Amino acid sequence: MASFQFKILAFLAGLLVLVGEANSAIHRIPIQRSPNFKRSHKNIVAERDFVQQKYSRQYSANRYPTEHLSNFDNFQYYGNISIGTPAQYFLVQFDTGSSNLWVPGSSCNSTACQDHQVFYKNQSSSYVANGTTFSILYGTGSVSGYLSVDSVGFAGLTVQSQTFGEVTTEQGTNFVDAYFDGILGMGFPSLAVDGVTPTFQNMIQQGLVQSPVFSFFLRDNGSVTFYGGELILGGSDSSLYSGYLTYTDVIETAYWKFQTDYIKIGTTFISTFAAAIADTGTSLIIAPLSQYAQISQLFNANSEGVFQCSSTTSYPDLIININGVDFRIPAKYYIIQEGYYCSLAIQSINQDFWIMGDVFLGRFYTEFDVGNQRLGFAPVNSAVSLRQVHLWRLLTLLLACGIWKLRN
Ligand SMILES: *[C@@H]1O[C@H](CO)[C@@H](O)[C@H](O)[C@H]1NC(C)=O
Ligand SMILES: *[C@@H]1O[C@H](CO)[C@@H](O)[C@H](O)[C@H]1NC(C)=O
Ligand SMILES: *[C@@H]1O[C@H](CO)[C@@H](O)[C@H](O)[C@H]1NC(C)=O
Ligand SMILES: *[C@@H]1O[C@H](CO)[C@@H](O)[C@H](O)[C@H]1NC(C)=O
Ligand SMILES: *[C@@H]1O[C@H](CO)[C@@H](O)[C@H](O)[C@H]1NC(C)=O
């Protein structure tokens, strides 16, 4: 009898060791959540304008926008990286909707640079000059400077010879009050300004990750303030989602663009076979103009998505069907109630694809599979808070140790 129990314990211990080994192949970086992040009507409209500019610059790089932008600093997520030797630390937004890494340089005297960490190249022994000019338009402003090369570290991994933008002028951008210093783009290489190889592609080439995959566990409106989730490099952590990942191919390797089967609100079809992109740098869901018109009609909302309401409970789920599987977003996540008015966290810009920001990504764990050019989605494991996940990991480890002790 006792030996039978031992066999079971030994089997469990073996299983736990296997789980531990599987997890050692992945690297984690905590994602912080801005303590000031708030979805309100004002912020939603301001962000819509920002997103419009973020996406239009790709198509009309030389046409400066004429409309006045409201100030927008409602960015939700960021994490800590290092550049140089010894390490200089920066908070960056991990943005799957762009492909360059940039941080302010020490010679930048713009207001936005003065508020943030700047890179001192003269204090890094691994710094190498490149000098090619670099510029990205953001709305009515831009960040510009020149390219530099240095080592970049995050999640315990160090990428050698990463080319990045060292910003010398940051004008009229919305980043002045942002909690983060710069942006680390995780889109495909074809989006990269100046043809720079993106950080994750260098990680793959330098053999730093076992598998060419990264994934995001984001806690939109999470119970743990400050702790916004995790960026996982080299694979996925199945304890952070429930069920299995539904995969879909990337249909264009620039943004992380995929095709949805259909998008519905309750029983009303809004679109079929529409393209969508997964953008961790956007907090809203953005629809093409004609689909937005249908949605706003359903809610009797105005052009900014505002309608009268007394509660969000009577509204149906937003349903996004990907590869035959329904991904449901309850109304309380895509409708923001402020008194007797509600605002849709679904907005529109003049693009023919949908943009799935945190309203979507905060509900669904997302795997970005660079190697197979596909995306995988699964509901986040919301039953456990992140602290509980860590506690669970610790407990299983202790259990494994205990069992090992018992056996020997
Ligand atoms: C980034 O990480 C380093 C090393 O762990 C730490 O010293 C630094 O305070 C962190 N920076 C921020 C802003 O969290
Ligand atoms: C590095 O450059 C900054 C200005 O960019 C200067 O203030 C600082 O003194 C320099 N440090 C060293 C060690 O040369
Ligand atoms: C910023 O630096 C430039 C040249 O490096 C200089 O012309 C300008 O006056 C400086 N601005 C401020 C506010 O110090
Ligand atoms: C600077 O970086 C760009 C992009 O990686 C590269 O094409 C170019 O050859 C580099 N120039 C120098 C002088 O190293
Ligand atoms: C989001 O968080 C706020 C503040 O903690 C809370 O009032 C609101 O009910 C939450 N919304 C949802 C959908 O959980």
Ligand closest in space to the Cα of 37: 5
State which residues of the chain have pLDDT below 70. Answer: 1-24, 57-72, 139-140, 221-226, 382-408
For 371, counting Cβ atoms within 10 Å of its Cβ (0-12 exposed, 13-18 middle, 19+ buried), the class is exposed
pLDDT of residue 128: 98
Q: Where are the domains of the chain?
A: 43-208, 238-384
pLDDT of residue 403: 57
Cα 109 to ligand 3 centroid, rounded to whole Å: 6
369 is catalytic: no
Under CATH, to which class is 238-384 assigned? mainly beta
- What is the number of the ligand 4 atom nearest to the C-alpha of 163? 5
Tokens of 300: 């009797």
SS3 for 143? strand
Cα 181 to ligand 4 centroid, rounded to whole Å: 24
SS3 for 244? coil
Nearest alpha carbon, ligand 2 atom 7: 106
Alpha carbon 232 to chain centroid, angstroms: 11
- Helix spans in 198-349 (H): 199-205, 289-299, 331-334
Nearest alpha carbon, ligand 1 atom 13: 91
Q: Which of 33, 39, 221, 332 to mutate to test the pocket of ligand 5 (most atoms within 8 A of CB)?
A: 221
Same fold for the pair 43-208 and 238-384: yes
Of 49, 181, 220, 279, which one is the catalytic site residue?
A: 279
249 is catalytic: no
CA dihedral for 60, 64, 69, 71, sign (positive or negative): positive
Rounded Cα–Cα distance for residues 16 and 250 (Å): 34
Inter-CA distances, 322 with 43, 69, 281, 374, Å: 29, 34, 21, 12
pLDDT of residue 138: 73
Residues lining ligand 5, judged by CB closer than 6 Å? 221, 332-333
**32 CB neighbour count, 10 Å cutoff:** 18
Cα 221 to ligand 5 centroid, rounded to whole Å: 6
Cα 134 to ligand 4 centroid, rounded to whole Å: 11
Domain covering 43-208: architecture: Beta Barrel (2.40)
